Structure 1
Amino acid sequence: MAPWICYYCLSLFLILNCYSATSQPPFDYPTANLSTTWTNNDSLPRSVNFTDGSRVRAILLRGSFGPKFACGFYCNGTCTSYLFAVFIVQTNSGGGIVQPTIGFPQVVWSANRDHPVSYGAILSLTATGELVLQDADGSMAWTTNTTGGSVAGLNLTDDGNLVLFDVNSSVVWQSFDYPTDCLVLGQRLFQGQQLIPSVSSTNWTAQKDLFSLQVTDEGLFAYVRSNPPQVYYSNLMYRNKANTGRRYIRFLNGSLSLFTLSVEPSDPFDLIRIPKASSAQYMKLVPDGHLKVFEWQGRDGLCSGNQQCSCPRIDYFRAVNDRQPNLGCSAVTPLTCNATQDQTFIALENVMYFSINADMERVDIETCKQACANNCSCKAALFQYGSDSSDGSCFLPFELFTIMNVDPDVVHRNSSAFIKVQNVRSPPSTSQATLGVILTSTIGSVLFLLGVIGFLVYIIRKQRRDAQMEEESIGEVPGMPTRFSYEELKTATENFNRKLGEGGFGAVFEGTLEDSSKIAVKCLEGLGQVNKSFLAEVQSIGSIHHVYLVRLRGFGAWKSQRFLVYEFMSNGSLDRWIYHGKREHILEWECRKKIILDVAKGLAYLHDDCRQKIIHLDIKPQNILLDSDFNAKVSDFGLSKLIDRNQTQVMTTMRGTPGYLAPEWLRSVITEKVDVYSFGIVLLEMLCGRKNFDRSQPEESWHLLGVLKKCWEQETLLDMVDKYSEDMQTHGSEVMEMMKLASWCLQYDYMRRPSMLIAVKVLEGVMKVESRLDYNFTDSRQQNITVEYDQDMTPLMASVLSGPR
């Protein structure tokens, strides 16, 4: 069974949607006829506002009490934008949606999440059988396109499927065929369909996230929606030629079942186990790329309108999980029918259960309580009344789930709960026995306290000793450069106040040494990864010096902190100079050529001229620094990998920055050609004056590699050149040759990429670019292999390309 979906990305989260009953009249309206129109305004009779700011205007509803499916207009936040959606709400015993103090609805499908509508929008089930959503201005937002399909009506099924049916009750159109980000119990996700996370409900117009979940011929896959897509989870199932049917997964009670080599009613090829549902349950692909299961659940909990829950009395109940109070409570002493004389009631006022299905009518409180006391199976006496407490409704549940604090002025009724609890009978005791117990408890407490203090002192001393030993052992690393004291670095950086920016593992500060030379001090932050990065950096470049590598002047260590001291590069990192809208001024073509050659020479030195081959693994503009004369130097070796000369490749977990990662990372077996690929991306960005992934561009141009492929096919490479540099346009022929080199470095097959030594020779004009290039930079033949991400993934732009962690 795949660990990702069981323990990481599926992350079973139980949510508590606690609702109360209201005094609305019974109604149940799961179907609608042709020629029916609904307007999104306050005239719709079934409108409910919730405490989280959401609002629903129900059009169809499956009645009877409990969490049920409804469909209609939904909004959240300021309610300037609405969705036509299917959602789960709590209903009372009469089939009405509960009132605002009781939580919020859960959207499981929406028709128009990319085209929200406003107040006054109209939904029509036309006479021709088409379901049409029009905005208030009359513009079309969404339609089922079912005109001529012999539609006879609209139905919301018990499992949350919105169906247009014909006169034979056959399905003409159904929402299950158009999943968004959720699956409900019983729903299938077929090959060709996918789940894509929804954006924040308060910002419908923002772009959707970068993840998707879908079924292919080979199994179930989750992708980072980059170009090309990157697999971050897979459940592989090889194709069975005997089964020509559509592959699918199905969300069943207790499992996510995968039917890729078989179809129902046969057993699934594989399944991912999920705790069985005791109430409404659904799974959702959330914006961080995780697949989560949600359920309405919780026992004996007392919750407020803001979903904060606690146990009624800590002497009688304790939380099932202190970190997740919504999971409910368990009795300290279970109820027993053999000791009913030791049972009593905890009284709670102004509380309400999600349903009151009265066992007794027109009774008083004491009669209700006594009825529960006389029934061994009764867990509580729930009593509701109007103005007269002698004339109320009594409910005696045999299982008690979550109850809710309510405001009587809002729900227009009074309500009390009396929870039955078991007292522990104390044996007879004498004053002497009591004194002995007190003395024993006191002595035991003192000894325990002394033991705890001694243990804490030991731990603190051990940590200090370990930190000192670790600090001292750093000086034993072979080839270590100058060691600076903490006081020296503190003085040089003016108490770390002159911040230059953020590095991969911490901040970087400007400083000046006593000899007036300027330095940059990188302060590493974290735990295990700090020492890993620190030692990698020192071992990589601590003993080598090259004109195109940033010089490591020394290091420092103080307690758990680590410091790396570099030469100061006054013009900062390359990303400040090459992106339109961010750069300080336009770099001329000769300057760009010089920077490109400097970086190529630095990488060539790492790959071919060092005693051990060094693969940098994180080449990007942020790790290329420029001095006062715009000489470029490669920096930040915190993720680098040293391999022996006789090794042709090395296996390692994925590390680097999304957007600059070579496709072979998906197999976790890499060579120095991953640096060549990253160099190709940087080269392309410099030539085009934009980022590899840029949402400010038209959607078809978000991915620079896709634009490059298209321009090769249409022979319009010159159109990609930085339009903000007249000098670049003037040197178009030279830029085109450089574009060819970038394409060579970006070959999908790493064996077809040049070495950095050959790239240097091309840049120096002594070699030409390979003429037979593959321009399919987004090759679909990539292997669908599970990726093991470690903590060495450095962010490019957290809001754009951060991967699942």
Structure 2
Amino acid sequence: MSFNPMICNSHTINYHLLLFLLVVQIIGSLLLQHCEGRETITIDNEIRDDNETLVSAGERFRLGFFTPEGVHNKERFVGIWYYRDPKTVVWVANRNKNLSDSFGVFGIADDGNLKVLDRNKITYFSTDLESSSASNRTVKLFDSGNLVLIDNQSGSVLWQSFDHPTDTFLPGMKMDDKKKLTSWKSAKDPGRGNFTFELDEELSNGPIYLTRKRTTTYWKSGDSGGFDSPNELPSGVAYLLSNFSTKSKRYKNLIVTERSYNNTRLLMNSSGEIQYFNWSNGNNLWSLIWSEPRDNCSVYNFCGKFASCNSQNSTVCNCVAGCEPVSPENWVTGDFESGCTRKSPTCNKEGSDIFHNLMLMKVGKPDSQSYDAADSDEACRKECLDNCHCQAYLYNGGNDTGRVSDNSTHGCWIWNTDLINLQEGYPDYNLSIRVAAFEIGGGNPNNQSKVPQNSETVPLKSVIISTTLIFLILLLCSFSYVVYRRKTAAKRRETREGMRGNPLTHLHDSERQVRELIGTSHFKDDDKEAIDVPFFDMEIILAATNNFSDENKLGQGGFGPVYKGMLPGGQEVAVKRLSIYSGQGLEEFKNEVVLIAKLQHRNLVRLLGYCIKAEEKILLYEYMRNRSLDAFIFDQTLGMLLGWEKRFDIILGIARGLLYLHQDSRLRIVHRDLKTSNILLDEEMNPKISDFGLARIVGGKETEANTNRVVGTYGYMSPEYALDGLFSIKSDVFSFGVVVLEIISGKRNTGFYNSKEATNLLGYAWRLWKEERAMDLVDQTLLESCSRSEVLKCINVGLLCVQEDPSDRPTMTNVVLMLGGETATLLNPKQPAFVARKRLSSTPSSSSSKQEAQSHNELTFSLGEGR
């Protein structure tokens, strides 16, 4: 065997290279362990604000310096966050005093305390323990998220973050009467906020927790939702708060399973909601499982005393029988806190009171215990009548007509103080409230206490005087009305007051009035009176949006920004603000204010009000929590939340909304910008058509019109409108067909690029239809839940709607019949229209949907010429 020196040299070089790489890897690992891998702090190795962190042994939590997301200034805090989710901070050391630079240090000081110091040794946080030798102490971050200061000699815990929580409760904490969760000031400021969550009291069947807004009770388990049981918390939340060691005692009435709650947390957020989250490994995000208060009626004493709450009513709060608002002017603005007061005092004379039954009513816990001696409703009523302090009673005879406690079969409950937390809609309750007999006409609606027969007769003289005064007032009003009518324009006043003549004439005048309002260059005072929605003062809007803060901003469109707002009564609204820099918007603003005010349909977004002040032009809409449709169907994760049954309901809802616009409304409306991003979804995923900035009236029996200004969104516009400026109700039908195919496929028409199949979604759908492979169009997430016959019917209808010739397209009346029919035979579609791509000068959409902040922005364009 001959010796080859080149081979030897090659082996030597490879050996040295491998040795060098191994040394580099070892050094890198040691450095990484020093910077990120260690889980303890001693006197010699504090954490500096130089990307140094502590990491728990199982890599569940990390501790270090951070700046809250969205904060531009150099505001540095020391906190603990999830290793896999750095944005979710669960504990903050110096929450009320941030460092202003990146030279901070977190470690054990010379006096043995754990401290946050700046470069000048100024203290920003301290554990405030008695001074001791620092060399005998160690700080460790555990996988539970607990930061612990340990005495090395005894092994005892000297201090732990679990005893000093900020806004988050983690599994393993103990929620006793010494601890509370305190919200952040805002999503960007971890300082102490207005809301706290704490243990209120321990009862035999479980603890009661409450949320305070500063010093007042804001929410309370049990009382806010009813006094029958304090355990309104879901089993998961109850199990989490039970601290594991005592759950069998404190939650003996709950059925909970033995499973890990390591992936859960309880958050007291800056808006006043206590929220329970669970980590979803599949989606790598936190899922909100439970939240309170869930609505206005869950807020403690939201309506005040002697007022009932029903979040389903247009007016959330209403005074009970015999009562009236304490402050009527506040109730008009939606501020119900002052509550109601009795119109007349009770217990004036023996037998002068009756009881009014408040059916389906839940009420806050009474101030006294049950009256056990009462074994019937009659005895319970008598006990209340004999007690002048008694305001109401409730008797539970064991037949579920007034359930008070799960632990008793019957009982008489007496309220000796003002009634609070009254809620409607609970069939297990039947509360009887004490009322002065004459306040409800002296009647006896529930065959209860009798009105005395010796009531004094009203003097005849008083009757004559009262009758004369009423007659004079009516006469004066009639005279004033006649003068008013003579001084105004007859036709406009007849329309505004709702004349009783020919309905066709009324419709014609209404349409003319709308056209005149839209055609004006500005709104006059008389025009504002003709609009059917409230005018809001700018001060109310500024307060609702926190002066249009970025924190409340939902999105930005060509119209201008959209903000989330909260009116004084607690109603959430979306506030659309016309940008003074917008190239368009004034015409769209007038369109929306005047047109949508005349439209009322469950599948149209409701306009709540508007504001005009100086250069400011603002619209207020109902707030849609689930944003726009495109945010769901074009997202692989969110799309799974919309099964076929819900998507089919959404298609039907959109169709009914368009049918109303085209045929059933007082004005025949062409929307002109129907697209998935203009379909908003409410809490129950019901669709509502929005954005009427481009809408136009097609008067009388007209079905089409033309324009010199073509505006709309590429991919949804019909060819006759995009190329020739001709628009009609069939233009909306074309857009509807595109939306239907997008809902079914989960793909955008304009973003579909498949050179093997087609250049857009319409062409792809047409090819599959011709090859009898239409089911291949369906979103893969729907295949298991969809009905084949319904899907094919919807694809057929969608292709009929996007045919090139408008006369071939069905009307929305036919579309609704085809979609809703069981046995209807559908026509075969013709080849759909393919609008050629052109170089077009583009501008943003007329106005952006209120919840489009996270939606894809389609190209909306405007052509200067058309025929």
- What range is the shorter-chain TM-score in? 0.3 to 0.5
Structure having the larger proportion of residues in strand: 1
The TM-score with structure 2 as length reference comes to 0.36
The TM-score with structure 1 as length reference comes to 0.39
Structure having the larger proportion of residues in helix: 2
